């Protein structure tokens, strides 16, 4: 396994864990205050979609044959 493949897999795992954290925030619905204002949930939806896409992309690249 090359270092590039290892790096892509590590990045995929990190993005996947971050996506799971955003999904947990959506399910649990904790109240998050920023400077006294309640943080809405829609940014977590956007973050979940983007992070999931990045994770899947990294895993797809890691599985691609190298030249």
Q: Give the pTM.
A: 0.88
Rounded to 5 degrees, what are φ and ψ at 33?
-105, 130
Domain ranges of the chain: 3-63
CB 39 within 8 A of CB 32: yes
Alpha helix locations (H) across the chain?
A: 3-28, 42-63
* pLDDT tens readout for residues 23-66: 999 999 999 999 999 999 999 999 999 999 999 999 999 998 87
């Amino acid at each position: 396994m090359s270092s590039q493949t290892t790096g892509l897999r590590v990045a995929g795992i990190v993005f996947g864990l971050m996506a799971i954290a955003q999904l947990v925030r959506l399910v649990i619905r904790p109240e998050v205050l920023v400077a006294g204002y309640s943080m809405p949930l829609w940014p977590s939806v956007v973050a979940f979609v983007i992070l999931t896409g990045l994770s899947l992309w990294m895993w797809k690249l890691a599985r691609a044959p190298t030249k």
